[in-house]
Structure 1
Amino acid sequence: MRDPIKRPMTILAFDYGTRRVGVAVGNTETRASQALKTIAAANADGLFWEVENLLKEWQPDQIVVGLPTHPDGADHEMTAKAKRFGNQLHGRFNLPVSWVDERYTSAVLETDLQMHDNLDAHSAALILEQYFAEYK
């Protein structure tokens, strides 16, 4: 388990998918998250260009990436892809990356039809809320 959060920080959270990436922002003082946007880039260059613009705008101290697994916690194809995405974020932007179990975030939100249009960004917000809950 990580050390408790010691100073106010801005955090960007990502819900990685091969077609869309949800993004949310939050801070450790309010421990609240806000869905920002869903990135639907045609390729990796477009995705990282969008991410770079968000990093410039929000100036986060840390990144959180949702880590998808099977319901029993076992890795699957998307687990490796999300890990690779997080590692690329760390390598390109030199920010610390934390991982959060995201097994049920999309399933929870799919029942709320109002969030359907921006489901991935709202999933990222739930991932960030989970991070705040786990690391007090």
Structure 2
Amino acid sequence: MHSSIQAPQTLFGFDFGIKRIGVAMGNTMIGQASPLAVIESIDNQSRFAAIQALIDKWGPTQFIVGLPLYPDGAEHEMTARCRRFANQLHGRFGIPVELVDERYSSAVLSAKRGELIDDRAAAVILQQYFDQHTN
């Protein structure tokens, strides 16, 4: 009997925002997400250059992008922006992208005003993915 054991894969989670993008990292072996970086969204060129630098350093094989929805599941302006961001990630880097409902991820975070939490929000999004897909 031969079982196929897959090597652990590194995943990036993204919490997309107009001003900042939170990035988290985790791997499929451990199934734990950790905050990695907060990218200031100055313009597309610098945003994707910063993401490229993280890819070069960590070698992710999949991206998980949080998809914001209204509590009833309806889409809004940021939903479309996140879908576009996910398409741009896939188009630029050729890495598979999966969207994950992030409606309840912000409820897990309680932050003081002005505190940068985008990377932690990304970690919550990625952790949701791990909890749903690895057991």
RMSD between aligned alpha carbons? Answer: 1.6
More helix by share: 1
Tell me the distance in 2 between the aligned counterparts of 1:63 and 1:52: 13
Per-residue CA deviation, residues 91-135 of structure 1 (Å, 9 max, x unaligned), is 0000000111101222321x244xx63311000000000001111
Report the TM-score when normalising by structure 1: 0.89
CA offset at residue 61 of structure 1?
A: 0.7
Question: 1:106·1:120 contact (CA, 8 Å) conserved in 2?
Answer: no
Counterpart for residue 83 of structure 1: 83
Moved more, 50-59 or 37-46: 37-46
Counterpart for residue 53 of structure 2: 53
Report the TM-score when normalising by structure 2: 0.90
Q: In terms of Rg, which structure is larger?
A: 2
Tell me the distance in 2 between the aligned counterparts of 1:105 and 1:12: 16
Question: 1:65·1:100 contact (CA, 8 Å) conserved in 2?
Answer: yes
Counterpart for residue 3 of structure 1: none
Aligned residue pair count: 129
Counterpart for residue 128 of structure 1: 126
Identity among equivalent positions (%) equals 47
Counterpart for residue 118 of structure 1: 116
CA offset at residue 34 of structure 1?
A: 0.6
Structure 1: 5+ residue runs without aligned partners? 1-5
Displaced runs of 4+ in structure 1, greater than 3 A?
none
> 1:67 and 2:67 equivalent?
yes
Partner SS for 1:117: coil
Tell me the distance in 2 between the aligned counterparts of 1:56 and 1:96: 16
